[in-house]
Amino acid sequence: MSIAIMCSGGDCSGMNPAIKTFVEYAFNHNIQPYFIYDGLEGLIDGEIKEATHNDVAGINHIGGTIIRTSRSKRFYEKEFREQAYKNLEKKGIKKIIVLGGDGSFTALDIFSREFDISFVGIPSTIDNDIAGTDYCLGVDTSLNVIRHALDEIRDTSSSFKRAFVVETMGRNCGYLALISALTSGAEVCIIPELVYDLDSIKQRLEKEIKEGRSYILAIVAEGCNNTQDIADFFEDELKIESRIQVLGHIQRGGNPSVHDRLMAYEFVTYAFKELLKDELLNHVIAYKDAKFTFIDVHTLNQHKHEIKPELLDLASILSK
């Protein structure tokens, strides 16, 4: 039997440990593992190769993905999906593990309904915004990279009388910003999930400045689209010099944390076991209440990921 692994959409740390586990698990079960390079684009173009032990030696501590990833428009067109299927057929591959997000899972779901292909999706995105799972691969590493940057920014910001407005990734989801604000002792947190109140923030901080506070750290989620406004607010309303730091792509990774390596290990092992069974599968693994389970793509698309209310409660103090 043959089985393939691929990445799709944005990369994250933990993909390489997942790829390594995949290859080792396959060989331990006498299955030939395949790599689909360059995501859905590579699937269409037939960039499919037999994986070897050598390919995955020493990749555990490397961020990103050695088999690369892509975003694909072509895959939305049937003719390219047909082409993709033929590529898989040639290699005798009927089962795929996909590391990606909602969009990628939906694409694979369509594909698996059209053709005789089983797949299991492993939620892999630093945004942690996939419905039905408490955890997405890559989040822990990303949070620790942000923490490291915030520790450095705090040192420099406390050297001046200054406000620092730090923008984290997160298009529609403030998870990274929220956890980072809570765990780094930020004074302000602005995320899409929470209404913020600048008047009240102003009052709170004016009081603290009067009592001796000399610098302010504000964490703003990219998706709020108001990083500049918040910086202007500090300058105009609080009369404190302010600087913006967009963290950008460093958030995607680096050396995967132990948690992401272990989750990679467990996600892949769980996915593999299910794929080995005979039935057709087009499911996504969810990690829910410390247990692994499956959700179908349809259900996943009908729901929105929601941050735990307790965490929102804690963070709401920093939004007003």
List interacting residues with its own copies (CB under 8 A): 7, 11, 13, 15, 17, 20, 38, 58, 60-65, 68-70, 134, 140, 143-147, 149, 151-161, 164, 179-180, 182-185, 214, 243-246, 248-250, 252-255, 257-259, 261-262, 265-266, 269, 289-291, 310, 314
Identity of the residue, 78 or 148, whose beta carbon is nearer to its own copies in the bound complex: 148
Phi first, then psi: give them for residue 94, nearest 5 degrees.
-125, -5
Closest CB to its own copies among 236 and 313? 313
Q: CB 7 → its own copies: shortest distance, Å?
A: 7
Q: How far apart are CA 1 and CA 17, in angstroms?
A: 23
Angle between helices 309-316 and 175-184 (to 10 degrees): 60
- Is 229 known to be catalytic? no
**Which tokens is 311 given?**
């965490």
State the first-to-last Cα distance of the chain, in angstroms, to the nearest integer. 57
Nearer to its own copies, 115 or 270 (CB): 270
Per the CB < 8 A criterion, the answer to whether 240 and 208 are in contact is no
Rounded CA gap, 133 and 147, in Å?
23
User: Any bridge partners for residue 118, and if so which?
Assistant: 95
Least Å distance, CB 66 to its own copies, is 8
Min CB(230)–its own copies separation in Å: 16
Q: Which residues contact 195 (CB under 8 A, 6 or more apart)?
A: 319
Residue number, 139 or 297, with CB nearest to its own copies: 139
Contact 149, 32 (CB under 8 A): no
d(CA 183, CA 175) in angstroms, rounded, equals 12
E strand or H helix at 108, and its extent?
helix 102-114
CB pairs under 8 A, 24+ apart, for 102-106? 102/130, 102/300, 102/301, 103/8, 103/9, 104/8, 104/9, 104/39, 104/40, 105/284, 105/297, 105/300, 106/297, 106/301
Q: How far is CA 17 from the centre of its chain?
A: 15
**Rounded to the nearest whole angstrom, what is the least distance from the CB of residue 68 to its own copies in the complex?**
5
In angstroms, what is the minimal distance from the CB of 134 to its own copies? 7
| Shortest Cβ 220–its own copies spacing (Å) | 14
Looking at beta carbons only, is 118 or 144 nearer to its own copies?
144
Residue with Cβ nearer its own copies (117 or 218) = 218
Residue with tokens 């089983």: 118
Identify the active-site residue in 11, 38, 127, 260: 127
Taking the C-alpha atoms of residue 60 and residue 144, their distance in angstroms, rounded to an integer, is 17
CB of 87 to its own copies, least distance (A): 19
Catalytic residue numbers? 127
